[in-house]
Amino acid sequence: MAERISDAEHAVMEVLWDESPLTAQEVVERVDPGRGWSANTVKTLLGRLLTKTAISAQEDGRRYLYRPQVERGDYVAGESKRLMDRLFGGKLTPLVAHLAERDQLSDADIAEIEALLRDLKK
């Protein structure tokens, strides 16, 4: 996927990562109602995602079935790397230090990080 996806497009991707293939109407029904989006808004977002090749559409009679063309894990990995590259010179340690200095890590977070590091050392 060459182009990044917007926050709004990401909401549509989350629906499709959760379940696919889906019709446009099914995507409309599954997007968080709190967003207040019309069916036309969701269809516009589907069109943008098609243009970016983040999703594909397969003709099914008079409708289309949409499915993601990028795995959620791959997308998250790419976005995480871009964030670290842009803000922390590609290094993880300054990111964790930043969160720790701002009291953004709970005791549970710290325990999870410690467990992860122990597992990585094995």
Q: Tell whether the model's pLDDT for residue 21 goes beyond 70.
A: yes
Burial class (CB in 10 A: 0-12, 13-18, 19+), 15: buried
C-alpha dihedral sign at 58, 64, 68, 69: positive
Q: Which residue would you say has higher pLDDT here, 12 or 95? A: 12
Q: What is the pLDDT of residues 55-73, one digit of tens each?
A: 999 999 999 999 999 999 9
Structure tokens at 94: 């300054």
pLDDT tens across 89-110, in order?
A: 999 889 888 888 888 888 898 8
Quick check: 1 pLDDT over 90?
Answer: no
